[in-house]
Amino acid sequence: MESLVWRFVRRFSRKETAGLPSELPLRDTEKLEKALEKWVSEKGYRRPHRTVNETARELGTDGVTLHHYFLERKQVDFRTWRTRLRLEEACRLLLEEPGTCASDIGLRVGFSNRSNFARQFRDRMGCTPGEWRSNCRENLLSLHVNSKGLCSRT
């Protein structure tokens, strides 16, 4: 019965309703967390042009539930979280593949177009992907391992 009531509340109201659960039931949360882990490990965030509702269906839930899960559990909305995953992957690839064009990497990690990638990257990282790559490479070259195995600058 609680599950039916919870679905009704999720479907028709974004506000917490007195006397009804304000959080996802534990079994639903665990199921969604497992689905998200699998989605991340399979790099589902790399698929461009996916709406939150399409991704929610892929995860076995609905958009409202996914929205509430992220706000309650991660204190961020799904799209912001997905963008972070894409940017983390882009940063890794920018360093691992120095010969690959930065905008091509942006497309590979799921950004819909080159300008969107450049804008999102600059907004969150404070520089362009190319500048970030150059700065990181310079910083990596200036690091060395001291006798205790700790990194320090030369």
pLDDT of residue 137: 78
What are the helix (H) ranges across 1-154? 2-12, 26-41, 52-58, 63-69, 78-96, 102-108, 114-125, 129-142
**Residue boundaries of the structural domains of the chain:** 22-75, 85-153
Taking a C-beta distance cutoff of 8 angstroms, is the pair 44, 52 a contact?
A: no
Per residue in 1-42, pLDDT (tens digit) is: 444 444 444 444 444 433 334 466 666 788 999 999 999 999
| Max CA distance (Å), the chain | 65
CATH assignment of 85-153, among 3.40.50, 1.10.260, 1.10.3470, 1.10.10: 1.10.10
What CA–CA distance (Å, rounded) separates 154 from 144? Answer: 7
pLDDT of residue 144: 46
